[in-house]
Amino acid sequence: MKLVSAAASPFVRKVHVVLHETGQTGDVEIVPVKTSPLSTSAEVRAANPIGKIPALIRSDGPALYDSRVICQYLNERADAHLYPDSRKWEVMTLEATADGIMDAAVLISYENRLRPSDLIFKDWTDAQWAKVTSAVSAVNDRWMSHLNGPLDIGQIAMGCALGYLDFRHDARGWRKGNDALDDWFAAFSRRDSMIATAPSD
């Protein structure tokens, strides 16, 4: 299998962490690409008609894309129990919350990096950041018992989301008022899988 990826993407990182946590890193060749919404690479377009990463190219079937699809596939392939039946809906809701944080944070990054400086829409980026802060606060207030439980995809996704906030938006200070989540992330970041997949440009 081949994973079309970019080291800065939190969605790609989520897949990489799953590969590490499920012992499948040796089964996947990493195909690094330079891509953006304004300049989609040919490798990405060939694997995913929407032009987004990550995409998993398989020899025995069509390419898979969207990190949630890929992570579920890898989980089943390894029988890893990252989506346990007893708490499946909670796990998937937490994953969706983390993915929403990633979506909003990536959109802010694109606005600041791709749009001409005199056209940056500050009210729009502030609105995206409000989504981030609302979600982070909700996780801090309501989800800590889950985050402190057995490893699942919700924890992996949240770790990657918070890691991206540090990577691209550290100055905005997501930690303020979220001490429990800050403590959890400090510990989760020390996992071998998180250290091995730290984002880079």
111 token code pair: 């606005």
Q: How far apart are CA 201 and CA 199, in angstroms?
A: 7
pLDDT at 56: 98
d(CA 16, CA 73): 13
Residues of the chain short of pLDDT 70, as ranges, are none
Return the closest-CA partner of residue 66 out of 99, 42, 114, 92: 99
Q: For strands 2-5 and 55-57, give the pairing.
A: antiparallel
Q: Does domain 2-78 have CATH number 3.40.50.920?
A: no
Residues of the chain with CATH 1.20.1050.10: 85-191
Residues in the chain, total: 201
Q: Which residue has the tokens 């998993």?
A: 56
At the topology level, CATH places domain 85-191 in: Glutathione S-transferase Yfyf (Class Pi); Chain A, domain 2 (1.20.1050)
pLDDT for the residue 57: 98
Give me the residue label for tokens 């499920």: 22
Q: Which residues on adjacent β-strands are paired with residue 65?
A: 55
d(CA 48, CA 54): 9
Within the chain, all domains assigned CATH 3.40.30.10 are found at: 2-78
| Spatial contact of 127 and 118, defined as CB atoms under 8 Å apart | no
pLDDT of residue 201: 86
Whether this model's pTM surpasses 0.75? yes
- How far, in Å, CA of 122 to CA of 126, rounded? 6
Neighbouring C-beta atoms of residue 52, cutoff 10 Å = 19
pLDDT reported for residue 185: 98
